[in-house]
Structure 1
Amino acid sequence: MPTREQLLETAKRYVDAHNSRNVEAIRACCSPSSTHRGGPSSVNGPDRTRDEYVAFNADVFKMLHSYHAELTDAIVDPETRKVAMFLHAKATADAGEYENEYIITVTMTEDGKLVQDQYDFIDSHTMLQWIQKVGQFAQETWEKK
């Protein structure tokens, strides 16, 4: 059974990979059969395989100038190999500033070194407002051409 420290180290490496916006580092943190899910249901996020999740992040990172998620707290359960992370994220993009809070749970592989399952729970109101802002920015930019 992996130790609490091993699980927390893997979770932090996963957050760091996102903060560096390095899709290959994200891929390296996930098992080939990993599943990535998003919630709450109001966000309507699809389940994604590892490759789909990596591709999704690659697309998101293209529109961001900066991104940083700060791990503010974590609950680690070595018995279930699960880490619940509380994060505060900030980003900048052409559409403006982004700030949101997430609770991400990751379940690790048997050795505790890779993410096997991820569930993101985000502040959906803030996320939907951001998506609307990005859409409005895109429309206004398109109309200026």
Structure 2
Amino acid sequence: MSMREQLLDTAKKYLDAHNSRDFGSIAACCSPSCTHRGGPSSVKGPTRNNDEYVAFNVEVFEMMHSYHAEMTDAIVDQATRKVALFLHAKGAADAGQYDNEYIITLTMNEDGKLVQDQYDFIDSHTMMQWIGKLGQSGEEMWEKK
């Protein structure tokens, strides 16, 4: 498999693990020292390690009755081992329908098989509206380390 194919394969496995809510597979896609960051600054969450990131996702998915993120485009930079995923996510929760767009940049390790750094850039206006629907518990969950 070429490096480009490997990087895309790892990114797809990472996305699939999120869509299937398979927290063990999410963690298995990441290097032990992987960092998970988010932005823009208007919705910036804390930098999380793997355990914190998985715990955050457990809490998010407990609120969601359904969730699916579809890749609409991807850009691969083999020299820096980065993949930028353009995603459209939909879901449902007691607070209502969720519909948002993200750009997630994944930086992989040297063989392209593990994520070393994840940066989520989220439509901040939509995210803030969603957190408002969730109320105080959503805001506390977002900011929790």
Report if aligned partners of 1:95, 1:137 keep a CA contact under 8 Å in 2: no
Q: Give a deviation string over 1:39-66, Cα, whole Å, max 9, x none.
A: 0000031100111101100110101111
RMSD over aligned CA atoms reads 1.5
1:137 CA drift (Å): 9.9
How far the C-alpha of 1:23 sits from its partner, in A, is 0.8
In structure 2, C-alpha distance between the alignment counterparts of 1:93 and 1:24, rounded to whole Å: 23
**3-state DSSP of counterpart to 1:24:** helix
CA contact (8 A) 1:39 1:45 kept: yes
TM-score (norm 2): 0.91
SS in 2 for 1:48: coil
User: Where has structure 1 moved over 6 Å in runs of 4 or more?
Assistant: none
Alignment partner of 1:70 is 2:63? no
Counterpart for residue 129 of structure 2: 129
Counterpart in 2 of 1:142?
A: none
Larger radius of gyration: 1
Q: Would you say how many aligned residue pairs link Structure 1 and Structure 2? A: 137
**Percent of counterpart pairs with the same letter?**
75
- Matched residues in 2 for 1:137 and 1:46: separation? 16
CA contact (8 A) 1:76 1:82 kept: yes
After TM superposition, the structure 1 = structure 2 runs for residues 84-95 of structure 1, keeping only pairs within 5 Å, are 84-95=84-95
Q: Return closer, same or farther for 1:105/1:137 CA change in 2, 3 Å cut-off.
A: closer
CA deviation profile, 1:92-133 (whole Å, cap 9, x unmatched): 111110000000000001110010000000000000000001
Supply the AA of the counterpart residue of 2:129.
Q
Letter in 1 for 2:116: Q
Change in CA separation of 1:109 and 1:136 when aligned onto 2, cut-off 3 Å = closer
Per-residue CA deviation, residues 15-48 of structure 1 (Å, 9 max, x unaligned), is 0000001111101111110000000000031100
If the length of structure 1 is used for normalisation, what is the TM-score? 0.91
